[in-house]
């Protein structure tokens, strides 16, 4: 059970000695305060976790804090002391600096020479850490501090009580998805080589403007990490060969941290680093990989990468694609036109449903002789929303287990079609069914633009409402490092995703079509005068969803009602996100047409 810490405030004295001055920030690891050490008359940084520690946590905290305090290096933040009273506190060196993540947010991608100098310093710190048999486990831009005079310091290592865990279904993966090594993504323990990989991914992001495996939902990023599907390097210059070695899939093939330090020294030599650009010349904004426009551009980059090998187009896109494209107007493209019920009838009788889920979706239910039918689901999506790779008409295999087989067909540089066949305990091979449906999708796409919908959406439908416009920057600020620039349109602006730049919780807002006669799932809550229904994810257990029914007055009652589905997902227990999910849902609900 998660226990909430007691509130602390400016002026409180911790451990009878450290007077809290100001909260420096709250991230995935905990809350950091600036404080004054009354005994030694100096400023320090104090950090404590978001939740209270039990006996096991305290034992681990003391052991690992003692280990971290053994590291003495000019490029590693020093640990001075611990306070283990009512709360656990870590007393650290105070560094007036910005995190590399903040630097990238203000300046965008950095020149290779500047990145090399940062990398050399952090590699030196990692070498010292590894010499003490300590593994950092979470090297990323947010854990590297950069001072005004260019000194880089590694922070936030060795204290597992604060370690945020990005869990896969088996709960074994630790770290931040975009900077996690393949072996850790596969469930193996972190080691020295995984730290080197994460440093390589961090330097890649600093020089290229995006992490090597892109961004998106944590499980999607981790799957690309496991498959080794890295983006090509275009701006790394002299760092390219070394970064390629640091990002090798096999841990034993990577250089050590000390070798990285030495190799980067050969790249930059003894030249002085160029002065940082004047802040006035470039307004602060989200890192390039979080900007809305880049979400489309990164999809084009993904087309050029499979693994670490750069591919070229075998042919130019057809003229129809270059002009209006195969998808055309997102809101009039008919996903049902991509389903051939005649082909699916080889497995059993079929029924077509146009009102399952979101408006970008069409379903064919196939009776295969079991208690429930196979649900063949076809969705039109933007490639940026799922970071789909491949060339036009290429079929990309996705999730596959006993109850689902997932395939994605690449349409062009912007769009894709997701096909899935679902049924628990199926009496046949679901991938065979998905394969038949996928062949139909490819055939329709090759024949020309996707046909248009035959019937317009009814008045009052949420199909006319832009989902990305329902949350503004003020509302998004309730979650760290999320703003409007990070919005990703899934398709038709009927679903929108916002991702954190620091690996924290993300937001998914989508529309759902729900039978008017059925009760909406969840616990009934009040959202500033509107009803909402809160439910926790029973699978991963790390998300909280609020469902908001939309029943416009003075309009004829329909068989279906539209529902706004807002989910906050992270890597902590889902109950911790419910308060923020309800606040965001209330903001979105207030903007719905009445």
Q: Which residues pair with 229 in a beta bridge?
A: none
Fold observed for domain 327-447: Protein Transport Mog1p; Chain A (3.40.1000)
8 Å CB contact between 281 and 367? no
Q: In whole angstroms, what is the distance from residue 357 CA to residue 492 CA?
A: 14
Residue with tokens 């009652």: 557
The sheet that has 42-48: what strands, in order across it?
Answer: 13-14, 18-26, 31-37, 42-48, 88-93, 79-84
- Report which of 64, 99, 102 is spatially closest to residue 84, judged by C-alpha positions: 64
- CATH number for the domain running over 13-93: 3.30.200.20
CB atoms within 10 A of CB 340: 17
Q: How far apart are CA 235 and CA 590, in angstroms?
A: 44
Burial class (CB in 10 A: 0-12, 13-18, 19+), 316: exposed
What is the torsional sign of CA 103, 104, 108, 111?
positive
**Can you spell out the DSSP letters for 494-528?**
SEEEE--TTS--EEEEEEEEEETTSPPSSEEEEET
| pLDDT tens sequence across 41-84 | 888 888 876 555 566 666 666 666 776 677 788 999 888 888 87
Residue 358: closest CA among 378, 383, 343, 375:
378
**Annotated catalytic residue, options 81, 138, 406, 512:** 138
With a cut of 70, say whether residue 166 has pLDDT above it: no
Helices (H) and strands (E) in the chain, counts: 15, 24
Active site residue 473: no
Asked if pLDDT for residue 462 goes beyond 60, the answer is yes
25 has pLDDT over 80: no
The structural domains of the chain, with segments of one domain joined by +, span 13-93, 98-270, 327-447, 462-590
* pLDDT score, position 369: 93
Alpha-carbon torsion, ordered 141, 147, 153, 156, to 10 deg:
-60
Give the torsion through C-alpha atoms of 348, 351, 357, 358, to 10 deg: 110
- Judge contact between 294 and 205, C-beta under 8 A: no
**pLDDT tens digit string along 495-540?**
999 877 656 688 999 999 999 888 899 999 999 999 999 999 877 7
Enter the pTM of the model: 0.52
Predicted confidence at residue 4, as pLDDT, reads: 46
Of 64-73, 161-170, 498-507, 546-555, the poorest mean pLDDT is in 161-170
Across the range 14-30, mean pLDDT stands at: 72
Q: Which residues are bridge partners to 496 per DSSP?
A: 489, 509
Which of 1.10.510.10, 3.40.50.1370, 3.20.20.10, 1.10.10.10 would CATH assign to domain 98-270?
A: 1.10.510.10
In whole angstroms, what is the distance from residue 260 CA to residue 245 CA? 10
């Amino acid at each position: 059970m998660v226990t909430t810490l007691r509130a602390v405030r400016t002026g409180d004295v911790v451990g009878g000695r450290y007077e809290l001055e100001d909260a420096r920030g709250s991230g995935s690891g905990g809350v950091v305060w600036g404080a004054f050490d009354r005994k030694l008359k100096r400023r320090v940084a104090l950090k404590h976790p978001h939740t209270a520690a039990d006996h096991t946590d305290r034992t681990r905290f003391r052991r690992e804090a003692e280990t971290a305090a053994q590291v003495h290096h000019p490029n590693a933040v020093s640990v001075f002391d611990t306070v283990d009273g009512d709360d656990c506190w870590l007393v650290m060196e105070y560094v007036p600096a910005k995190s590399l993540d903040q630097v990238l947010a203000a300046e965008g991608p950095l020149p290779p020479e500047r990145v090399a100098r940062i990398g050399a310093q952090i590699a030196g710190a990692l070498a010292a850490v590894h010499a003490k048999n300590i593994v950092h486990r979470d090297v990323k831009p947010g854990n590297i501090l950069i001072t005004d005079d260019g000194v880089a310091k590694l922070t936030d290592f060795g204290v597992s009580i604060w370690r945020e865990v990005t869990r896969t279904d088996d709960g074994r993966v630790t770290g931040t998805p975009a900077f996690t090594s393949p072996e850790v993504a596969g469930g193996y323990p972190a080691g020295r080589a995984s730290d080197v990989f994460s440093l390589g991914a961090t330097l890649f992001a600093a020089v290229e403007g995006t992490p090597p495996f892109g961004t998106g939902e944590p499980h999607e990023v981790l799957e690309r990490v496991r498959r080794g599907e890295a983006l090509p390097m275009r701006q790394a210059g002299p760092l390219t060969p070394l970064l390629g070695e640091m990002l090798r899939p096999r841990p034993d093939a990577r250089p050590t941290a000390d070798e990285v330090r030495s190799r980067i020294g050969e790249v930059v030599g003894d030249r002085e680093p160029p002065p940082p650009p004047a802040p006035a010349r470039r307004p602060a904004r989200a890192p390039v990989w979080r900007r809305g426009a880049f979400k489309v551009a990164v999809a084009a980059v993904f087309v050029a990468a499979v693994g670490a090998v750069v591919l070229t187009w075998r042919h130019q896109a057809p003229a129809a694609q270059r002009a209006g494209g195969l998808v055309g107007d997102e809101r009039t493209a008919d996903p049902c036109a991509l389903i051939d019920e005649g082909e699916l009838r080889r497995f059993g009788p079929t029924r077509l449903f146009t009102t399952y889920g979101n408006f970008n979706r069409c379903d064919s239910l196939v009776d295969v002789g079991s208690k429930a039918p196979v649900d063949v689901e076809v969705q039109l999506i933007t490639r940026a929303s799922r970071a789909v790779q491949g060339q036009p008409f290429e079929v990309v295999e996705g999730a596959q287990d006993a109850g689902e087989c997932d395939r994605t067909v690449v349409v062009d540089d912007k769009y894709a079609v997701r096909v899935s066949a679902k049924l628990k305990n199926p009496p046949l091979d679901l991938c065979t069914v998905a394969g038949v449906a996928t062949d139909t999708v490819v055939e329709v796409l090759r024949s020309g633009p996707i046909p248009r919908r035959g019937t317009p959406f009814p008045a009052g439908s949420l199909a006319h409402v832009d989902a990305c416009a329902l949350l503004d920057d003020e509302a998004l600020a309730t979650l760290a490092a999320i703003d409007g620039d990070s919005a990703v349109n899934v398709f038709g602006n009927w679903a929108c995703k916002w991702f954190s730049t620091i690996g924290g919780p993300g937001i998914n807002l989508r529309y759902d079509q729900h039978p008017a006669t059925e009760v909406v799932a969840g616990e009934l809550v009040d959202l500033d005068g509107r009803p909402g229904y809160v439910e926790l994810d029973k699978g991963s257990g790390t998300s909280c969803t609020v469902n908001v029914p939309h029943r416009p007055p003075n309009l004829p009652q329909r068989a279906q009602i539209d529902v706004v589905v807002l989910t906050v997902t992270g890597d902590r227990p889902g109950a911790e996100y419910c308060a923020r999910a309800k606040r965001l849902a209330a903001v979105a609900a207030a903007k719905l047409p009445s």
